């Protein structure tokens, strides 16, 4: 049986899926890296994508802590760091 709050972990995973969806939406219209730098809109997209990537990293840390390092370790093929 799990020692952690499964509902909180599932909610965090749902939030991560939302963040991934936002990243995909923000990449619309971006074909190459200069597209981020050529306009204020491009820079706003870059900022937004970076913030979502930071959020994903923090969520992974939260899940690892909530599960007392028992969930992510089950997937050694993924380089979590």
Q: How sure is the predictor about 1, in pLDDT bands with cuts at 50, 70 and 90?
A: very low
CB 35 within 8 A of CB 29: yes
Which is nearest to 50 in space by CA: 70, 76, 21, 26?
26
Each residue's pLDDT tens digit, 43-76: 999 999 999 999 999 999 999 999 999 899 999 9
Each residue's pLDDT tens digit, 6-35: 899 999 999 999 999 999 999 998 999 999
Please state the domain extents for the chain.
6-29+37-69
Residue 2's pLDDT is 63
């Amino acid at each position: 049986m799990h020692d952690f709050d499964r509902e909180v972990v599932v909610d965090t995973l749902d939030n991560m899926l939302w963040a991934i969806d936002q990243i995909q939406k923000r990449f619309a219209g971006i074909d190459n890296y200069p597209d981020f730098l050529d306009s204020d809109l491009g820079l706003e997209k870059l900022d937004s994508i970076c913030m979502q990537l930071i959020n994903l990293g923090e969520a992974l840390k939260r899940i690892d802590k909530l599960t007392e390092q028992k969930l992510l370790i089950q997937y050694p093929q993924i380089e979590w760091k």
